[in-house]
Amino acid sequence: MISPQRRQEIIDALRRGTVPKSSLDAFAVGLERFESALDEELQKVASGGSVFKAVRGEYGCGKTFFARWLVERAKKLGFATSEVQVSETETPLHRLETVYRRLNERLSTADTAQGALRNIVDGWFFTLEEDVLAEGAIDANDEAKLVARTAELLEQRLTKVTEAAPMFSAALRGYRLAQGSGDQAMADGILAWLSGQPNVSANAKRFAGVKGDIDHFGALGFLQGLLTVLRDSGHPGLLVVLDEVETIQRVRSDVRDKSLNALRQLIDEVDSGRFPGLYLLITGTPAFFDSHQGIGRLEPLAQRLHVDFTTDAKYDNPRAIQLRLPAFDLDRLCLVGTRIRDIYLQHAKSSARIADRCDDQYVRSLAEAVTGKLGGKVGVAPRIFLKKLVADVLDRVDLHEGFNPRADYQLTIGDVELTTIERHAAAGTSVDEIELEL
């Protein structure tokens, strides 16, 4: 049995039609085959290694779910994590400085849901101070000497990073000095610059001894610095998810080429060992990985990511650089539905009524009905099916004693509640439904 809070987080997210941000292990189905290999890779990263992984799957097969499920496993090991959605306008892949900024905005740890950079940096300085005091040469009450020695230790810890990104250590030093002098506004400005934010005041930059903004190449050096800070503050690694990378297929050809080259650069940098403690995961559709409008457009990238998927999926290698997520079938969809129902039952006042009126047979009939409304495409159905199950059926049975879904509920799905891909699946399920202009 899960806690009332975890239960509520799951149910609330599904009621909204979104993927829950946590507790995904409670209803994950079909991911067992990947657990051992992924845990080994996380341990490798925690030991100072680095991993690049690509996940492919059609819409609805659970790529975002898979990514968040892996995020949860990483957090249980003490990792910091960040989920970045690649976008043509908000987060273009060819501009790594923007990716770095979004990474920091969504940086998360087990005790901080988002924007965890400040806590991580402050925790790092606290660790440095503890190491300085452990030396026994400086009195804990001597603030000036403590700050000075901490700065020296900072430089020692960031020696390698300083060579690649000297402004990273300069900004950290400036942040520490601003905090030590009680100038919180100055410290906030420096931390904002360190996280890649634009339009930081000139005073904050001058105080820290830095210039300009972080650029495409500087972002890689700053990522090295962030990994060092994470490791020294007690986090064994950083898991970064770049979701929906296939969106780069929709941009201009020159921008697409730059984006693909940026992806190739990231893979090569990870393989070279430049980012110890980094697990980088990307997700995309099979068309992106296989077509000449996607990965195939850049031959060196296609070579790095190629995996033979012509064999039976049950023999796939989870250690390969690219994973294939299995498509949903009706049995798997029903299994997820019954698990969600069982989670809903926990801590519910009307659990007996829910168990009686929403048994496995009813859950299956609802799954079949939703799938039928979507042209029989099971892979497109999970999101809307779970939303209908929770909001239209389980909630009503729980709230109204007389409500029986078999007699009182008829499934309807409106265009407004569907995503574009779901809408396409629902449209034109028969020739009679196609409107012609006469």
pLDDT digits (tens, 9 = 90+) for 260-279: 999 999 999 999 999 999 99
31-109+235-324: which CATH number, 3.30.200.20, 2.170.190.11, 3.40.50.300, 3.30.70.60?
A: 3.40.50.300
Is 173 a residue whose pLDDT tops 50? yes
Higher per-residue confidence, 433 vs 155: 155
The alpha carbon of 123 is separated from its chain's Cα centroid by a whole number of angstroms, namely 23
**pLDDT (0 to 100) of residue 203:** 94
The ranges of the chain annotated as CATH 3.40.50.300 are 31-109+235-324
Mean pLDDT in residue range 347-359? 91
Q: Which residues pair with 242 in a beta bridge?
A: 84, 282
**pLDDT (0 to 100) of residue 436:** 42
**pLDDT (0 to 100) of residue 175:** 93
Mean pLDDT in residue range 373-377? 89
Is 429 a residue whose pLDDT tops 60? no
**pLDDT (0 to 100) of residue 134:** 86
SS (H, E, C) the chain: CCCHHHHHHHHHHHHHCCCCCCCHHHCCCCCHHHHHHHHHHHHHHHCCCEEEEEEECCCCCCHHHHHHHHHHHHHHCCCEEEEEECCCCCCCCCCHHHHHHHHHHCCEECCECCCCHHHHHHHHHHHHHHHHHHCCCCCCCCHHHHHHHHHHHHHHHCHHHHHHCHHHHHHHHHHHHHHHCCCHHHHHHHHHHHCCCCCCCHHHHHHHCCCCCCCHHHHHHHHHHHHHHHHHCCCCCEEEEEECHHHHHHCCHHHHHHHHHHHHHHHHHHHCCCCCCEEEEEEECHHHHHCCCCHHHCHHHHHHHCCCCCCCHHHCCCCCCEEECCCCCHHHHHHHHHHHHHHHHCCCCCHHHHHHHCCHHHHHHHHHHHHHHCCCCHHHCHHHHHHHHHHHHHHHHHHCCCCCHHHHCCCCCCHHHCCHHHHHHHCCCCHHHCCCCC
- Across the chain, mean pLDDT equals 90
**pLDDT (0 to 100) of residue 433:** 45
Is 430 a residue whose pLDDT tops 60? no
**pLDDT (0 to 100) of residue 428:** 54
**pLDDT (0 to 100) of residue 434:** 41
**pLDDT (0 to 100) of residue 322:** 96
Is 89 a residue whose pLDDT tops 70? yes
Mean pLDDT in residue range 49-61? 90
Is 240 a residue whose pLDDT tops 80? yes
CA–CA separation, 311 vs 262, rounded Å? 30
Mean pLDDT in residue range 36-42? 97
Joined tokens for residue 9: 């987080």
Is 340 a residue whose pLDDT tops 90? yes
Q: How many CB atoms lie within 10 A of CB 325?
A: 21
Which residue, among 73, 101, 109, has the nearest Cα to 230 in the 3D structure?
109
Is 81 a residue whose pLDDT tops 90? yes
